[in-house]
Structure 1
Amino acid sequence: MLWVKAFHIIFVVCWFAGIFYLPRLFVYHAACEDTEGRERFKIMERKLYRGISTPSMVLTLIFGFWLISYSPSGYFSQGWMHAKLLLVAILVAYHFYCGHLVRVFRDDRNTRSHVFYRWFNEIPVVILIAVVILVVVKPF
């Protein structure tokens, strides 16, 4: 069980590294004014999303559900776990929306400013804070 937990934490860290950095790339991409720079951002965004973020998300979910499988009735009887899983579902939706944005930038269809992406970048921070508090403190 400890190996499963260790790998879950490792892939959570990797997923969040990608989910923090990808919207930051969107900030810079939205502000970029030269074609060469925009093309470079397209490559970086694609590689980060497909090569790091998405595999890390999948492995996070696999190891997370593997952990739950050790005691499903124990975990699902606790309110904090329900709240955590809701936040994870929101984060998964955020992740897939980032994938949509990768395609929007790839196709040169972005209409939002870098300021929007600066705010958009804060969503996973709030989710991370809430999830860590739920898992460590178990307030309910």
Structure 2
Amino acid sequence: MLAWLLVLHLPAMVLWVGSLLVVTLILATHSRQTGAEARQALAEAEAKILKGMAHPGAALAVITGVLLILQNPGYYMSGGWFHIKLLLVLFMIGLDLRIYFRAKALRAGKIQMQRGECIALHSGVAVVFLGILVLVLVKPF
């Protein structure tokens, strides 16, 4: 059972994080477009990726993550690395929500986004994911 949960958990994380990275780059392009047709096409792409890939990936990653913890709670809960990893996962969820609501507001014409904000969100997702990888693979403490 543990192996199957990992087989689901890892691709779910890749789908979630990869989708967020793609959406933030699309947002950066969207923020600089002036043509209505191009802005509409980019907004539709953002929505499809978030709703069709990022959020299902996030849900599957969280569900399989909880099931993995339940399989061997002593192993996970005793490691200091794991508690920090959980904190980083919460940061990733926060970034996901920030990206989603900013993209939704941009699509509705309620806000303007600067390219720098999009790149900062992109960098935040990448740094948090790298932190998670280091903690899981190296287990530094």
Query: What is the TM-score normalised by the length of structure 2?
Result: 0.95
Separation in structure 1 between the aligned mates of residue 67 and residue 125 of structure 2, nearest angstrom: 23
- Can you list the C-alpha shifts for 1:61-102, whole angstroms capped at 9, x where unaligned? 011111111111221111000000000001001111111012
CA distance in 2, matches of 1:8, 1:106: 31
Give 2:71's aligned amino acid: Y
Corresponding position of 2:78: 77
> 1:41 and 2:35 equivalent?
no
CA-CA distance at 1:116 after TM superposition? 2.2
Alignment of 1:1-140 (within 5 A): 1-140=2-141
How far off its partner does 1:105 sit?
Answer: 1.3
Paired-residue identity, %: 25
Counterpart of 1:132, as a letter, is: L
Q: Provide structure 2 residue ranges, at least 5 long, that are not aligned to the other structure.
A: none
Question: TM-score, length-normalised on structure 1?
Answer: 0.96
| Corresponding residue SS for 1:122 | helix
Matched length: 140
Off by >6 Å, runs of 4+ in structure 1: none
Q: Secondary structure at the match of 1:121?
A: helix
> Is the contact between residue 30 and residue 110 of structure 1 (CA under 8 Å) also seen in structure 2?
no
